[in-house]
Amino acid sequence: MRTDIQIQNMMKNTYNLVLQGLIFSIIFFGLNACDDNDLLPFNDIPVVESYLTINKPISLQISRKTAYDENVALSEDDINGLQVKIKFDNQSRIIPSSGNGLYTDLAFIPQEGTTYELEFTFNNKTVTSSTQIPSKPVNFQQSVSTIEVQGITMGGGFGGGPGGTRPEMPDPVKLTWTNNDSGYYMVVIENVETSPTAIYDFGDNADDAPRRIFRNEPTQSNQYEIAAMNFQYYGRHRLILFHLNAEYAALYNDNGTTSQNLTNPITNVENGLGIFTGINADTLMISVVEP
């Protein structure tokens, strides 16, 4: 079972958390690292965000890196008027603009194993990148399809009873897959219930609301264990295994930029920032129930 739209949205959410933090330091480092009369020159370059997924039309989000000084000179490029090309198999395809920096071709469905090359001109420079959709994970398996987790409430103890004894936690859920070439993988766990019941109820404070989605960091391993305490809701969960390209793993694992370490974030876009990458995934299901 696999839902391509949900897979792509979760990858975007992960990427946004990483890239926003990285770019924030690049954009605003002048406020902390430089005097008003000693700002470094601003490089007007685009930020690209694109994930190629099987059975999903190709889509690219292109934006302009925000200037740290309103007086810097920007290029005259219209972010919605770029001639965005994707080259593949000796073909070249123009991706039309949908407005707001989004470029989409509903009739262009990328395929696994094909090399796709991005190209457009911005600020008199040729912006390029290249990627493939990696193979679907092989032999993705789980140790159990159901796990029992005892609930706990604020002041009520385990199982809701006062003074309840701490129950023995079940064994972790072990996920395994084939990884003969040290490829990069990431596991995302998502509760799919419409109105799920929280396992650990700590009151009405929104800041303490349990997470419906959690994930591990990209790994080159062939297994991952999910501790029972990591599940925070009862009900059905998707166990999604992403097969990643090295560029996504590098961006995710980058420590970022500070005012003491003025470096651009990891990117696979030449003359730009961001990421142009392919993803593939497989999905299993698990139910979390009360004992």
Percent of the chain with pLDDT over 70: 71
pLDDT digits over 133-180, tens only?
999 999 999 999 999 998 876 555 555 444 455 667 899 999 999 999
- DSSP E strands in 58-133: the ranges are 58-64, 84-88, 91-95, 97-99, 102-105, 115-122, 125-132
pLDDT digits over 217-276, tens only?
999 999 999 999 899 999 999 999 999 999 998 887 764 444 344 456 788 999 999 999
Render the burial of 146-169: b for 16+ CB within 10 Å, e for the rest.
Answer: ebebbbbbeeeeeeeeeeeeeeee
pLDDT for position 258 = 40
pLDDT digits over 19-43, tens only?
544 444 444 444 444 444 444 456 7
Domain boundaries, the chain: 4-133+266-278, 138-243+283-289
Distance CA 191, CA 38 (A): 50
The two tokens of residue 7 are 């897979």
Q: What is the pTM of this model?
A: 0.81
pLDDT for position 16 = 56
From the list 281, 277, 272, the residue with the least C-alpha distance to 115 is: 277
pLDDT for position 264 = 61
Lowest mean pLDDT among 14-18, 99-103, 267-271: 14-18
